[in-house]
Amino acid sequence: MTSRHRRIQVPCDPELDRAIARARRVFKPDAASSEIVHALAVRGAQALEQDREAEEHARAFLISVAEGASGLDLERLRDVRDRAW
Protein backbone atom coordinates (compact mmCIF):
# COMPACT_ATOMS: atom_id res chain seq x y z
CA MET A 1 0.00 0.00 0.00
CA THR A 2 1.40 3.38 -0.91
CA SER A 3 1.77 6.03 1.73
CA ARG A 4 2.64 9.70 1.88
CA HIS A 5 4.75 9.04 4.97
CA ARG A 6 8.46 8.41 4.76
CA ARG A 7 9.66 4.88 5.34
CA ILE A 8 12.38 3.52 7.58
CA GLN A 9 14.41 0.36 7.25
CA VAL A 10 14.28 -2.11 10.10
CA PRO A 11 16.36 -5.29 9.99
CA CYS A 12 14.14 -8.30 10.47
CA ASP A 13 16.37 -10.27 12.82
CA PRO A 14 15.27 -13.31 14.89
CA GLU A 15 14.31 -11.10 17.85
CA LEU A 16 11.99 -8.98 15.70
CA ASP A 17 10.59 -12.11 14.07
CA ARG A 18 9.69 -13.45 17.53
CA ALA A 19 8.08 -10.13 18.52
CA ILE A 20 6.03 -10.07 15.32
CA ALA A 21 4.93 -13.67 15.86
CA ARG A 22 3.87 -12.92 19.43
CA ALA A 23 1.97 -9.80 18.39
CA ARG A 24 0.34 -11.60 15.45
CA ARG A 25 -1.60 -13.68 17.99
CA VAL A 26 -3.23 -10.44 19.19
CA PHE A 27 -3.79 -9.05 15.68
CA LYS A 28 -5.75 -10.72 12.94
CA PRO A 29 -3.69 -13.64 11.59
CA ASP A 30 -3.29 -12.07 8.14
CA ALA A 31 -2.13 -8.65 9.41
CA ALA A 32 0.80 -7.24 7.49
CA SER A 33 4.12 -7.38 9.31
CA SER A 34 4.55 -3.65 8.71
CA GLU A 35 1.23 -2.99 10.49
CA ILE A 36 2.38 -5.09 13.43
CA VAL A 37 5.80 -3.39 13.59
CA HIS A 38 4.10 0.01 13.57
CA ALA A 39 1.78 -0.98 16.42
CA LEU A 40 4.68 -2.43 18.41
CA ALA A 41 6.70 0.75 17.98
CA VAL A 42 3.83 3.02 19.06
CA ARG A 43 2.91 0.86 22.06
CA GLY A 44 6.57 0.40 22.95
CA ALA A 45 7.06 4.16 23.06
CA GLN A 46 4.04 4.49 25.34
CA ALA A 47 5.41 1.76 27.62
CA LEU A 48 8.80 3.48 27.78
CA GLU A 49 7.14 6.75 28.83
CA GLN A 50 5.08 4.94 31.46
CA ASP A 51 8.21 3.21 32.79
CA ARG A 52 10.02 6.56 33.04
CA GLU A 53 7.07 8.14 34.87
CA ALA A 54 6.89 5.17 37.27
CA GLU A 55 10.62 5.47 37.99
CA GLU A 56 10.28 9.19 38.67
CA HIS A 57 7.33 8.56 40.98
CA ALA A 58 9.22 5.80 42.83
CA ARG A 59 12.31 8.00 43.19
CA ALA A 60 10.21 10.88 44.54
CA PHE A 61 8.55 8.52 47.02
CA LEU A 62 11.91 7.18 48.21
CA ILE A 63 13.19 10.71 48.68
CA SER A 64 10.08 11.59 50.68
CA VAL A 65 10.65 8.54 52.88
CA ALA A 66 14.31 9.47 53.41
CA GLU A 67 13.33 13.04 54.27
CA GLY A 68 10.56 11.89 56.63
CA ALA A 69 7.87 13.55 54.52
CA SER A 70 6.12 10.44 53.22
CA GLY A 71 3.71 10.09 56.10
CA LEU A 72 4.98 6.59 56.82
CA ASP A 73 5.53 5.68 60.44
CA LEU A 74 8.95 4.05 60.07
CA GLU A 75 9.14 2.98 63.71
CA ARG A 76 5.83 1.18 63.42
CA LEU A 77 6.95 -0.48 60.17
CA ARG A 78 10.14 -1.68 61.88
CA ASP A 79 8.07 -3.03 64.77
CA VAL A 80 5.76 -4.92 62.39
CA ARG A 81 8.77 -6.30 60.52
CA ASP A 82 10.41 -7.45 63.74
CA ARG A 83 7.22 -9.12 64.96
CA ALA A 84 6.59 -10.83 61.63
CA TRP A 85 10.05 -12.40 61.46
Dump the DSSP string for 64-81: HHHTT-S---HHHHHHHH
Structure confidence by residue, pLDDT tens digits, 20-54: 999 999 998 899 999 999 999 999 999 999 999 99
The answer to whether 39 and 19 have CB atoms below 8 angstroms apart is no
Residue type, 39: A
Q: Is the confidence at residue 6, as pLDDT, over 90?
A: yes
At a CB cut-off of 8 Å and minimum separation 6, what does 64 contact? 70
> What's the whole-number average pLDDT of the chain?
93
Instruction: Quickly count helices (H) and strands (E) in the chain.
Output: 3, 0
Closest by Cα among 23, 48, 17 to 35: 23
